[in-house]
Amino acid sequence: MANHEMKINLKVWRQKNASDAGRFEEYAVKANPDMSFLEMFDVLNEQLIEDGKDPVAFDHDCREGICGMCSMFINGRPHGPKQGITTCQLHMRSFKDGDTVVVEPWKAQSFPVIKDLSVDRGAFDRIIAAGGFVSVNTGNAVDANSILIPKDVADEAFAAATCIGCGACVAACKNSSAMLFVSAKVSQMALLPQGQAEREKRVVAMVDQMDNEGFGSCTNTGACSAECPKEISLSNIARMNREYLRAKLVGN
Amino acid sequence: MKVLQFLFTSSIGRKVVMALTGLFLILFLLIHLIGNLQLLKADDGYAFNKYAWFMTTNPLIKTTSYLLYAFILLHAFKGFYLAFTNRKARGGSYGKYNGAANSHWTSRNMAVLGTVILVFIVTHMGDFWWEYKFGEIPWTKYETSVVQDVTTSAPISGAEASGHIRMGSVGDKEVFITKDLYKETVEAFEQPLLVAFYLLAMVMIALHLWHGFASAFQSLGINHPRWNPIIRSLGYGYAVLIPAGFALIPLYVYFLMK
């Protein structure tokens, strides 16, 4: 592909720390269509450093769409205009020469801004710590085939387990609800035999923690699933609702 | 009631309350519409007034109506509370937010639609419920000849009506003396502004149901690939047909009964 140069006008959210009010700042960046969105930000930061300015803080790690770190809210949508991808998988060919692109951090009371585009998603870790695990005694690993699991059930559990905890669901939701994330984590274990022992305790503990973290309530807009880079299904939220009701009404 | 405490303290419990009260109100709309369509009968309101009599005197209906008022208030105020806390959970707004890219407009505006609907319900009850119970409302006397099966109606004054038999037989005639809610309705819908407000409210209800119907099932955990398309289609059909049925009444009165 020819190396067309393109000029992008960026409006980036700059915020020193959690207590700073924050503001948009505008930058012009020369990019090329083959760059990923994060590489374009690398170019911007090189430029800012050369000019003796403070580079933009943004989260990134694997740059191959599986770590869930890159948390940019681009032109009004988490991870930008494409579906089913993270920011690192977004390329500049999705924009036109001369476009103005607005970049903001995830916005949720439960995700305080650390700096600029970087937010603290520790609330998700605390929800997992509350019950998003299976307790196993140490010892030899059990033979993988000793517990039979139907293929379709395994597939459904795996689909839920593909959640990378990026927080796009919270960022997209008008209520900043974390129900898609929590329901994926509840589902992946509720579906499998290994998850049965702690099934009721888990869903109640995780939902309680989610509520305590101050996430909003789900109003079934479906924005979370539509913006999820792993396309986690809304059926997981319905399953979590069932699991929770079952635990509260007839659980031990 | 400790076993049901979670319905008021947890996020999922609150969703369940919204869903169950919502479904009850959805069912009420159907019954309310079936009853009200009797207004379209060209019988000087005989059928409708008999129905109104039944609805206001039957003890089972009366009990259910108090439950209905409670559910309307619960649904509305729980909804306001949720909208408020959900706004707080966001903690400010984005510089640029493209909600249309990922969700339907109705799903993002349930609280606004609900508020207009609540204002409508209050106005609507003031127009008819309050008037029927406490207001100055015309009286009508219906006489049905048992032999010929012909019903005649004549207006009478409230003073004349008091103390007389309200429903029963006199000789070979069935006599029914009632506050004429039919006439009250017809007179109300001769005002163009009121008709316009009722039509606007029906659009709001249609939009509210467009999201609310299927959403209630999801909140209760009812989500299955075999049933989802059916629930969704049923919801869209309900959201259009029920408000359209209600809208027919003021339109019919205003344009065809003058």
For B102, which of A226, A238, A239 is closest by C-beta distance?
A: A226
Reduced to 3 states, what is the DSSP secondary structure of residue B229?
Answer: helix
Query: Which chain B residue shows the shortest CA-CA distance from A76?
Result: B97
Binary contact (B91, A108; C-beta < 8 A) = yes
Q: Which residues have CB under 8 Å from B16's CB, separation 6+?
A: A241, A245, B7, B219, B220
Q: What distance in Å separates the CA atoms of residue A36 and residue A86, rounded to the nearest whole number? A: 11
Could you tell me if B14 lies within 8 Å of chain A, comparing CB atoms? yes
Q: Which residues of B touch A211 (CB under 8 A)?
A: 10-11
Could you tell me if B1 lies within 8 Å of chain A, comparing CB atoms? no
Q: Which residues of B touch A238 (CB under 8 A)?
A: 218, 221-223
Q: What mean pLDDT do residues A155-183 have?
A: 98
For A220, which of B16, B96, B215 is closest by C-beta distance?
A: B215
Split at pLDDT 50, 70, 90, the class of A142 is confident
Binary contact (A108, B89; C-beta < 8 A) = yes
Q: Which residues of A touch B90 (CB under 8 A)?
A: 107-109, 174-176, 216
Q: What distance in Å separates the CA atoms of residue A209 and residue A131, rounded to the nearest whole number? A: 9
Do β-strands A6-14 and A100-105 pair in parallel, antiparallel, or remain unpaired? parallel
Q: What's the CA dihedral at B244, B246, B248, B251 to 10 degrees? A: -120
Shortest Cα–Cα distance, A143 to chain B (Å): 33
How many other C-beta atoms lie within 10 A of the C-beta of residue A170? 30
Q: Which residues of B touch A227 (CB under 8 A)?
A: 102
Q: What is the SS3 string spanning A158-181?
A: HHHHCCCCCCHHHHHCCCCECHHH
Domains with residue ranges and CATH for chain A: 6-115 (3.10.20.30), 121-135+146-250 (1.10.1060.10)
Could you tell me if B165 lies within 8 Å of chain A, comparing CB atoms? no
Closest CA to B164 of B153, B175, B154, B152: B175
A33-70 pLDDT per residue, tens: 999 999 999 999 999 999 999 999 999 999 999 999 99
Q: What mean pLDDT do residues A238-243 have?
A: 98
Shortest Cα–Cα distance, B88 to chain A (Å): 7
Q: Would the pLDDT of A1 be above 60?
A: no
Query: Which chain B residue shows the shortest CA-CA distance from A112?
Result: B91
Q: Consecutive sets of 10 residues in chain B, 258 residues long: mean pLDDT of each?
A: 89 97 98 96 93 94 96 97 96 95 97 97 94 89 86 84 78 89 94 97 98 98 97 98 98 90
CATH pick for B2-86+104-135+181-256 out of 3.90.700.10, 1.10.579.10, 3.30.470.10, 1.20.1300.10: 1.20.1300.10
Binary contact (B103, A223; C-beta < 8 A) = yes
Shortest Cα–Cα distance, B215 to chain A (Å): 6
* Interface test with chain A among B1, B3, B11, by most A beta carbons within 10 Å: B11
What burial class does residue B179 get, using C-beta atoms within 10 Å of its C-beta: 0-12 exposed, 13-18 middle, 19+ buried?
buried
Binary contact (B110, A237; C-beta < 8 A) = no
Q: What's the CA dihedral at B204, B208, B210, B215 to 10 degrees? A: 180
Tell whether ipTM is more than 0.85.
yes
Q: Would the pLDDT of A2 be above 70?
A: no
Q: Would the pLDDT of A83 be above 90?
A: yes
pLDDT score recorded for residue A3: 62
Q: Would the pLDDT of A224 be above 70?
A: yes
Could you tell me if B183 lies within 8 Å of chain A, comparing CB atoms? no
Could you tell me if B104 lies within 8 Å of chain A, comparing CB atoms? yes
Q: How many CA atoms lie within 13 A of A26 on its CB side?
A: 5
* Interface test with chain A among B2, B8, B90, by most A beta carbons within 10 Å: B90
pLDDT score recorded for residue B54: 93
User: Domain locations in chain B?
Assistant: 2-86+104-135+181-256, 139-179
Contact present, B91 and A108 (Cβ < 8 Å): yes
pLDDT score recorded for residue A50: 97
Could you tell me if B226 lies within 8 Å of chain A, comparing CB atoms? no
